Amino acid sequence: MSADVPRPATFSYPWFQPLAILAGTTLLAGCLGSISEPGEDLTQGGGPGGKVGSGPPIGNIKEAVGASSQLRRLTRAEYNNTVRDLLGDSTAPADAFSPDEKALGVAIGGTVTNLLGEQFQDASEGLAANAATNLSAVTSCDPAQSGEDTCAADIVDNWVPRAYRRALEGDERSRLMALYSAVKSKYDFKAGVEVLVRAALQSPHFLYVVETGEGPSGRIPLTQFELASRMSYFLWSSMPDKTLFDAAKAGQLADAGSIEAQARRMLADPRAVDTVRSFHRQWLELEHLDSLNKDTDYYPAFNDALRSAMAEETERFVEHAVLKEGSFAGLFTADYTFVNAELAQLYGVAPPSSGWAKVSLPKDKRAGLFTQASFLSAHAHPNQTSPILRGKFVREAVLCQLISPPPPNVEIVVPKPEPGLSTKDRFAQHSSDPACAQCHKLMDPIGFGFERYDGIGAFRETEEGKSIDDSGELLESDVDGPFLGAVELAQKLAGSDLAKDCMTRHWFRFALKRGEDADEYTIAQANIRFKDSGYDIRELMIALTTAHGFRYRSQETL
């Protein structure tokens, strides 16, 4: 908008600040839990926050109430994808926003600071200015033929409901038309459209996923539009498309069969790639790669091109493994990956003639996600590996067994590399120090299994002139016992019921951006379908969309 047209104060960021604070504080409460007991029946509830097996029996699932809705704003990825689908804008303006907060390993909206509010406002102004210049982004109406006011009304009647992800209510239409008319009368049609679009993009109904529909006491079914948004932001990390929006408008999302049909359609859509990539990037904590630095005295091959390739490899791999194959076990044990020239050199395989290619890897050296350079680099130090970081990730993110923080009087110092000492030698103190031993016995023996991979994921046979001992052991799991190397560890984890239950929990958290403490029925329900499918992750995702906790909320609201 031209500089002489002021910002309408009604739509500036203070309007939605209190809502964001509520969303952030509610989700972040009560996120930590105890280590689960091995060998207990996962279909009976429990998990992080309580012992496995502590929940109500699956036979009472129809009586479950579930959690109240969490008012949350769009994450950066969701904002980018939404403006892409709503306005045809692929400039990813949210990349410049403040980083998303994370809870339970999932990016959430969280609180809105003054800085982020200004970033929302700046982004809306740029997007609105482009839309006013290129009207086809918001309407197919031609003002020269149909009249300016008719086209403005078309924007309000058809584009704004898509931005709000629901039908307009009450006096919303008249207020928006009044805003357009006031600005147009002082300036011109283009300015009126620009402020109209800007107002929609600064509305809480665009920036937030809002669920306020009413219903009977106890569990309340989501409204059709609310359910459509839950589905689209889960399966696409974006807004509903016309087909889903029209289905909601026609009341066609009222039963599990119709929901499942839509979910299957959506998983077959290219937009599902965004969700699969985003989920694994968050689960594997690969956001660390963005700012990852390595000491080139130790790792001279590391550079920006290799770092970028590491992230791309994993995203290509999970897209194929999940959307084309679906196999839970394949994520852990697959003997293939995708490489470009930089990664081919790191892995010691023939490079593709150009770009990226799917390649087979030696089955005794590489298997699935946890021998990929992205994971190994992100969970290592700048000048050495980290059995603790790698072992802690497996314990917490793969088995959902949370490790207690170290005592406040324990000073955490990473042992420096020393000539003649292997990593395993230098970390031996953890098993002998009483203040450290209890927790480190759950992490270090897992992490030592990764020691044949250096701090950037290159395979190695020796360290400091010594043959590497990559023997490890799993304790207090459902697949306890010794293993030799990361490939054997991956095979153990692929057969773990704890790991399968944990995967369900991660997908639930990703889908609803909250923990599952009040939704053990939903977890149990999804786990049964996950098992019946032969542990196909696509079927798990579909099962979650039809499960109780996805379709209903409790009577309590914010």
Alpha-carbon distance 482 to 135, whole Å? Answer: 64
Between residues 53 and 86, the one the model is more confident about: 86
Between residues 68 and 30, the one the model is more confident about: 68
Tokens 């809705």 identify what position? 69
Q: CA gyration radius for the chain?
A: 26
Residue type, 434: P
Confidence of residue 304 (pLDDT cuts 50, 70, 90): very high
> Which of 22-36, 289-303, 398-412 is most confident?
289-303
Element (H, E) at 483: strand 481-484
Confidence of residue 32 (pLDDT cuts 50, 70, 90): very low
> Which of 53-67, 395-409, 532-546 is most confident?
532-546
Nearest CA to 232 out of 172, 201, 272 is that of: 272
> Which of 13-27, 373-387, 405-419 is most confident?
373-387
Helices (H), 187-327: 189-202, 204-207, 224-235, 242-249, 256-267, 272-283, 304-318
pLDDT mean over 359-370: 96
Query: What pLDDT, on the 0 to 100 scale, is given for residue 433?
Result: 65
- Report the Cα–Cα distance between both ends of the chain, in Å, rounded: 36
Question: In the predicted model, is pLDDT for residue 13 greater than 80?
Answer: no
Residues 6+ apart with CB under 8 A from 433: none
Question: In the predicted model, is pLDDT for residue 205 greater than 90?
Answer: yes
Which DSSP string do the residues of 341-356 spell out, in sequence order? HHHHHHHTSPPPSSS-
Query: What pLDDT, on the 0 to 100 scale, is given for residue 213?
Result: 72
φ and ψ at residue 384, rounded to 5 degrees: -170, 170
Query: pLDDT tens, 153-164?
Result: 999 999 999 999
Query: What pLDDT, on the 0 to 100 scale, is given for residue 554?
Result: 82
Tokens 């889960």 identify what position? 234
Query: What pLDDT, on the 0 to 100 scale, is given for residue 56?
Result: 35
Alpha-carbon distance 392 to 402, whole Å? Answer: 9
Model pTM greater than 0.85? yes
Alpha-carbon distance 8 to 179, whole Å? Answer: 9
DSSP category for residue 319? I
Q: Are strands 106-108 and 101-103 parallel, antiparallel or unpaired?
A: antiparallel
Query: pLDDT tens, 311-337?
Result: 999 999 999 999 999 999 999 999 999
Residue type, 529: R
Q: Which two tokens stand for residue 49?
A: 């926050």
| Secondary structure (3-state) at 209 | strand
Q: Which long-range contacts (CB under 8 A, 24 or more apart) does 433-437 make?
A: 435/406, 435/407, 435/409, 435/410, 436/406, 436/410
Query: pLDDT tens, 92-105?
Result: 999 999 999 988 88
Cα 370 versus chain centre, distance: 18
In our burial notation (b when 16+ CB lie closer than 10 A, e otherwise), range 42-67 reads bbebbbbbeebbebeebeebeebbbb
66 phi-psi bin (left φ>0, alpha ψ -120 to 50, beta other): left
Confidence of residue 33 (pLDDT cuts 50, 70, 90): very low
Q: Which two tokens stand for residue 311?
A: 């992230």
For the chain, what is the mean pLDDT?
86
Count of other CB atoms within 10 angstroms of residue 1: 18
Element (H, E) at 481: strand 481-484
Which has the minimum average pLDDT: 48-62, 517-531, 536-550?
Answer: 48-62
Q: Which two tokens stand for residue 420?
A: 């003649």
Alpha-carbon distance 363 to 73, whole Å? Answer: 44
Exposure of 268 by Cβ count < 10 A (0-12 exposed, 13-18 middle, 19+ buried)?
exposed
**Residues above pLDDT 70, as percent of the chain:** 83
Question: In the predicted model, is pLDDT for residue 146 greater than 50?
Answer: yes
φ and ψ at residue 88, rounded to 5 degrees: 70, 25
Alpha-carbon distance 77 to 508, whole Å? Answer: 18
Helices (H) and strands (E) in the chain, counts: 26, 12
Confidence of residue 147 (pLDDT cuts 50, 70, 90): very high
Exposure of 216 by Cβ count < 10 A (0-12 exposed, 13-18 middle, 19+ buried)?
exposed
